[in-house]
Amino acid sequence: MFNHYGNGPLRKPLDESGNIDFEFSFAFQPIVDVGRREISSFEALVRGPNGEPAASVLQQVSDVNYHRFDEKCRWKALEMASRLHVPRRLNINISAKGLYLVDLNITATFKASRTSGFPVKNIIFEITESESLTDHHLLFKNLRVLQDFGFKTAIDDFGMGYSGLKLLLEYQPNYIKLDRELVSHIDKNPIKQHVFSGIQRMCQKLSIDIVAEGVERDEEYIWLNNEGVDYFQGYYFARPAFESLPMVAFQA
């Protein structure tokens, strides 16, 4: 199982009590709208208390303390976003496992929103670990519950697996985030270009916005932008900033 606030596997910790006896924090990376030349959202990415990589935190998370960790992440991400005056939306990740307890997640999110002052209408849930989905009927039901409560949703790492396409048959999110493997060197890979074109046509028909994630090269950005992509996330624009909001380098 992989974490939904950063990269890396969840490992079984020594503490089996379910307590969260370790510290963590967040870095923030912008998602930019190049058409409007503005920041569309910030994604909250888990880090160690001094900015250590996500893996240093995730190795302390197990099935026993997962839900307490997940709830604490929600509170901490929204509190920090409010304190940093995140100007628009905030992407917070929710894994397939977290979706199966959607009532608890919604309740915790509303409480965290009320306490932090960060409005619910500006929260986007990113659905991660889609390849691990099992009970699809329950998943689709709970995704619709999120929509009914006014949350926007995004499907992460879309385009290189089968589960994302299965999701779209029953549920249409507000955004899909293209998998980094599809984005990487797409400017010189005709196969990737054809796959992207198919995804783009499908999203246009379903009124789903595309976010190109993991963009690092000028050539990737130019090719995707020329094909009509407006939303981007990656080092090309800004690296994640620990406990702060980074400056964005909009391209000419």
pLDDT digits (tens, 9 = 90+) for 124-167: 999 876 555 566 777 788 888 888 888 999 999 898 666 677 77
Q: What is the mean pLDDT of residues 214-232?
A: 97
Contacts of 13 (CB under 8 A, 6+ apart): 59, 60, 61, 62, 65
Band (10; pLDDT cuts 50, 70, 90): very low
Q: For 25-163+237-242, which CATH superfamily applies?
A: EAL domain (3.20.20.450)
Residue 23 has pLDDT above 80, yes or no: yes
Task: For residue range 101-117, list pLDDT tens digits in order.
Answer: 777 788 888 888 998 99
- Tokens standing for 211? 């976010």
Side chain identity at residue 171, one-letter code: Y
pLDDT exceeds 90 at position 252 = no
* Cα gap 76→134, rounded to integer Å: 29
DSSP 162: S
Query: Per residue in 12-49, is it b (16+ CB within 10 Å) or e — as a string?
Result: ebeeeeeebebebbbbbbbbbbbeeeebbbbbbbbbbe
Which has the closest alpha carbon to 149: 115, 108, 98?
108
Mean pLDDT of 29-45: 96
List, for residues 179-198, the tens digit of each pLDDT value.
999 999 999 999 999 999 99
Q: pTM for this structure?
A: 0.88
Query: Which of the two residues, 18 and 226, has the higher pLDDT score?
Result: 226
Name which residue leads in pLDDT, 111 or 222: 222
| pLDDT bucket at 28, cuts 50 / 70 / 90 | very high
Give whichever of 53-62, 123-132, 213-222 has the largest mean pLDDT: 213-222
Which of 193, 222, 227 minimizes the C-alpha distance to 210? 227
Residues across the chain? 252
